[in-house]
């Protein structure tokens, strides 16, 4: 079947690692058409828009995107670097990946955190007799990607009607002593529709991939309304999946337990911010940013990306030293998504073999500081890691 994948390298090391994922896809025999799409800092500087309309159009047309990483900078840097002829014309920087999630309602974010045997970055824990053990971690975090605290529904010095509306709540009396201009407000709004969608996706994934539990990682004892809605919806959806258990863990307690018994968890589901936190925490147990892959899935469009950013401090290094595995595993998620399970499995096995053998490792896997000296100190280049994976294929 003819298929087109939209490639969005973005900035910095995004450009490096995306190219490596394409080499691996080619080696496994995946042969779609590719179409390049512009995204990132360069387009902010030159066009005042880091997510040009033509990129949105390409994604709408083809439905499938591979994304590297972008550079985002604070407001003042964004304004300063904007090309002179665009200055003071009302252009406002926004994160293009957050933009993509909103434009296409990519509301289901999946972040698998699965340890590869032999990875020196795997979490280990001490046993009672003073020895060590390395529990295998196999978790898939489902993060609601569009709502909650990261939806941008916030104000400093809120409009009067917002202030007045809040003042109708009895709990607001603690702040009614302050001037409006002294207040900063970020809201956390959940909809039942989006909550049901993430929950259904989580339970379906658990069933399909053989997990026995879905853990809601929220804080329903305090955030009684929003986290409470997640818990209620989880109870409903669980009835449609009787073979999967519904567990609950508060986000704070989870941060403690996941270094105690991470092997107990399967699918974990959370709102936007807690999902961000818990997915980084689990990623840290299985190798960190060099291994952390993700998918952003909506009804019509799906975009696959490593969770790391553009790592500007390494973007100039030639040859590059960053780990391509997070991007390669993101491409593997794309293969799974479109039903190419066999190719996906072959790549996973090849990555596992390279990690287990340990002959070809980027600086992060060597536990070295990154930088221009990493290669001469024995770290493999980005290209060498990809080559080793391809050789296994």
Q: Footprint of ligand NAI on residues 301-330 (CB under 6 A)?
A: 305, 308-313, 322-323, 326
Which residues have C-beta within 8 Å of that of residue 147, sequence separation ≥ 6? 107, 189, 190, 191, 194, 271, 272
Indicate which of Mg ion, ligand NAI, none lies near residue 290 (CB less than 5 to 8 Å, by partner kind).
ligand NAI
Using a 10 angstrom Cβ sphere, with 0-12 exposed, 13-18 middle and 19 or more buried, the burial of residue 216 is buried
- Which C-beta is closer to ligand NAI: that of 203 or that of 314? 314
Q: Which two tokens stand for residue 103?
A: 């434009």
What is the x/- site pattern for ligand NAI, positions 73-92, by CB under 6 A? x-------------------
Handedness of CA 377, 328, 4, 48 (dihedral sign): negative
Q: Which stretch binds ligand NAI (CB under 6 A): 69-77, 100-108, 142-150, 342-350?
A: 69-77
Point out which span in 64-72, 233-241, 244-252, 344-352 binds ligand NAI (CB under 6 A).
64-72
Spell out the residues 6+ positions from residue 358 whose beta carbon is closer than 8 angstroms to its own: 118, 120
We find the least distance from the C-beta atom of residue 289 to ligand NAI, in angstroms, to be: 4
What's the rounded Cα separation, in Å, for the pair 291 and 114? 9
Nearer to Mg ion among residue 276 and residue 315 (C-beta)? 276
Query: In degrees rounded to 5, what are phi and psi of residue 338?
Result: -95, 10
- Residue 322 interacts, among Mg ion, ligand NAI, none and using kind-specific CB cut-offs from 5 to 8 Å, with ligand NAI
Nearest distance, CB of residue 276 and Mg ion, angstroms:
4
Euclidean distance between CA atoms 265 and 213, whole angstroms: 7
Footprint of Mg ion on residues 238-277 (CB under 5 A)? 276
Binding mask 91-110 for ligand NAI (x = CB under 6 A): ------x-------------
DSSP string, 322-336: S--HHHHHHHHHHHH
When asked if residue 287 is in the footprint of ligand NAI (CB under 6 A), the reply is: no
Residue 281: name the closest of 141, 97, 136, 133 by CA: 141
CA distance 57 to 54: 5
Tell me how many residues contact ligand NAI (CB under 6 A): 20
- Residues forming the site for ligand NAI (CB under 6 A): 69-73, 97, 289-290, 305, 308-313, 322-323, 326, 364, 370
């Amino acid at each position: 079947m003819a298929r087109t994948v939209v490639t969005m390298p973005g900035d910095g090391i995004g450009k490096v690692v995306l190219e490596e994922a394409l080499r691996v896809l080619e080696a496994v025999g995946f042969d779609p058409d590719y179409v390049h799409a512009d995204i990132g800092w360069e387009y902010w500087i030159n066009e005042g828009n880091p997510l040009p309309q033509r990129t949105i159009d390409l994604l709408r047309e083809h439905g499938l995107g591979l994304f590297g990483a972008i550079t985002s900078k604070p407001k003042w840097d964004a304004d300063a670097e904007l090309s002179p002829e665009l200055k003071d014309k009302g252009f406002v920087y926004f994160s293009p990946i957050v933009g993509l999630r909103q434009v296409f309602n990519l509301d289901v974010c999946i972040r698998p955190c699965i340890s590869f045997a032999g990875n020196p970055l795997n979490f280990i824990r001490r046993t009672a007799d003073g020895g060590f053990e390395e529990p295998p971690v196999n978790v898939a975090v489902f993060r609601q990607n569009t709502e909650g605290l990261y939806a941008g529904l916030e104000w400093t010095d809120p409009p009067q009607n917002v202030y007045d509306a809040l003042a109708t709540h009895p709990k607001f009396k603690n702040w009614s002593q302050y001037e409006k201009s002294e207040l900063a407000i970020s809201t956390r709004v959940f909809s039942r529709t989006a909550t049901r969608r993430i929950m259904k996706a989580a339970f379906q994934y658990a069933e399909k991939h053989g997990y026995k539990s879905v853990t809601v990682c929220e804080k329903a004892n305090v955030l009684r309304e929003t986290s409470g809605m997640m818990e209620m919806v989880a109870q409903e959806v669980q009835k449609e999946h009787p073979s999967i258990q519904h567990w609950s863990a508060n986000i704070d307690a989870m941060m403690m337990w996941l270094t105690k018994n991470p092997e107990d968890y399967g699918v974990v589901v959370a709102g936007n911010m807690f999902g961000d936190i818990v997915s980084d925490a689990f990623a840290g147990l299985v190798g960190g940013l060099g291994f952390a892959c993700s998918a952003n899935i909506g009804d019509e469009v799906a975009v696959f990306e490593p969770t790391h950013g553009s790592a500007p401090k390494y973007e100039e290094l030639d040859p590059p030293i960053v780990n391509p595995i997070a991007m390669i595993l993101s491409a593997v998620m794309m293969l799974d998504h479109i039903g190419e399970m066999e190719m996906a499995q072959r790549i996973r096995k090849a990555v596992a073999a390279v990690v287990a053998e340990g002959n070809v490792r980027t600086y992060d896997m060597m536990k070295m500081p990154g930088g221009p000296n990493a290669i001469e100190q024995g770290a493999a280049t980005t290209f060498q890691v990809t080559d080793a994976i391809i050789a296994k294929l």
